[in-house]
Amino acid sequence: MPKNRNTFSSLTTWRRRVLASAVHRGWRWVQEAGAVTAEHPGRLRFRRLGSGTRLAFPQGTVFGEAWIELGDHCIIGEQVTLTAGMMPGLDLGADPILTLGNGVVLGRGSHVIADTRVTIGSDTYCGPYVYITSTNHSYDDPHQPVGKQWPRTEPVEIGPGCWLGTGAVVLPGARLGRNVVVAAGAVVRGEVPDHSVVAGAPARVVRSWHPVRGWEPPLRTPTPVPIPEGVTPEQLLALADLEPDGS
């Protein structure tokens, strides 16, 4: 009897492994087939969908594509929401409402809500679950539910080369300069100057760069050593496989 039980257990384990392998292969196929690119846009008809740009599957809520421009070589993660207008089916005029420059990265689960103009500059990277919105609820009337009051909208502008950490929130009217770092979980509103680091809720500048004095306060970590020119991916992988003692 123990021998039969062991045989049954081995068969069950083997079947589970085969099934798991098939599920993973099938899911990878679905992800590849469901991705949105300029060559395979599916049902989405963006105002512009740049070369090399890819929206991973499954996509989040997407509407108002006729007023959304996505630059070249953008990476849009899974479950990312991109909307133009307060609801589908609106005529938003002749100009784009939501614009992403070239090389923008939006991490998994991020939301970009553009009821009025939202611009994200080239080479801006967003971690997962970043929330960027041009609209905020109003609560002027104390006798009406907040959700039933007409919201306020203000344009949002994020300059090129920025980095927004996980869970960062960018509120209506925010204007971020070039190469701004937004710490994870920060809530940003108002003007943020070029080459600065902001953190907190509400966010405030905690570090900035001066052309003569450098970073103030000084950085606490050494400057990363760049990869030498000409090094191939294969060589990098070989270096990663080396033991700590260099053997």
Reported as a single tens digit per residue, the pLDDT across 99-141 is 999 999 999 999 999 999 999 999 999 999 999 999 999 999 9
Yes or no: say if 112 and 98 are a contact pair by the CB < 8 Å rule.
yes
DSSP codes joined into one string, 22-48: HHHHHHHHHHHHH-B-SS--TT---SE
Tell me if residue 177 falls in helix, strand or coil.
Answer: coil
Percentage of the residues of the chain whose pLDDT score is greater than 90:
69
Q: Considering only CA atoms, which of 122, 30, 126 is closest in space to residue 76? A: 126
The pTM score is: 0.85
Are the C-beta atoms of 48 and 34 separated by less than 8 Å? no
DSSP label of 75: E
